[in-house]
């Protein structure tokens, strides 16, 4: 998968250093993945939540952080839409962010 906006991840972990390693790990796995559907993502990340079919919420760093990625499965692209703490995630709508 091509992951768009690694910069967003980097900017986040620069302000939240404990998030760096878990986000780097997720990025490394996702960049090598060939996910053609939400089921493919769930097969690798069983605790991920599917939102509206094209958005996936990942639990990062032992559920300390949440990452929302919108996928274009046909083109094999993932767009980072949100990264934040679990508390910050609770204040947004994952389907519209």
Tens-place pLDDT, residues 4-28: 999 999 999 999 999 999 999 999 9
pLDDT band, residue 45 (cuts 50/70/90): very high
Please check whether residue 97 lies inside any domain of the structure.
Answer: no
The 10s digit of each residue's pLDDT in 47-92 is 999 998 799 999 999 999 999 999 999 999 999 999 999 999 999 9
Please check whether residue 95 lies inside any domain of the structure.
Answer: no
The 10s digit of each residue's pLDDT in 22-35 is 999 999 999 999 99
* Number of domains the chain contains: 1
Domain harbouring 62, CATH code: 3.30.2310
pLDDT at position 71: 97
- Entry pTM: 0.94
CB-based contacts of 51, cutoff 8 Å, min separation 6: 57, 68, 94, 95
Three-state SS across the chain? Answer: CEEECHHHHHHHHHHCHHHHHHHHHHHHHHHHCCCCCHHHHHHHCCCCEEECCCEEEEEECCCCEEEEEEEECCCCEEEEEEEEEHHHHCCCCCCCC
Domain that holds residue 44: 2-89
């Amino acid at each position: 998968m091509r992951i768009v906006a690694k910069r967003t991840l980097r900017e986040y972990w620069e302000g939240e250093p404990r998030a760096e390693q878990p986000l780097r790990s997720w990025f490394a796995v996702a960049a090598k993945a060939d996910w053609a559907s939400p089921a493919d993502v769930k097969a690798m990340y069983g605790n991920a939540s599917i939102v509206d079919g094209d958005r996936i919420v990942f639990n990062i760093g032992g559920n300390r952080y949440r990452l929302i990625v919108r996928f274009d499965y046909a083109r094999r692209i993932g767009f980072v839409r949100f990264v934040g703490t679990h508390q910050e995630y609770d204040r947004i709508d994952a389907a519209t962010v």
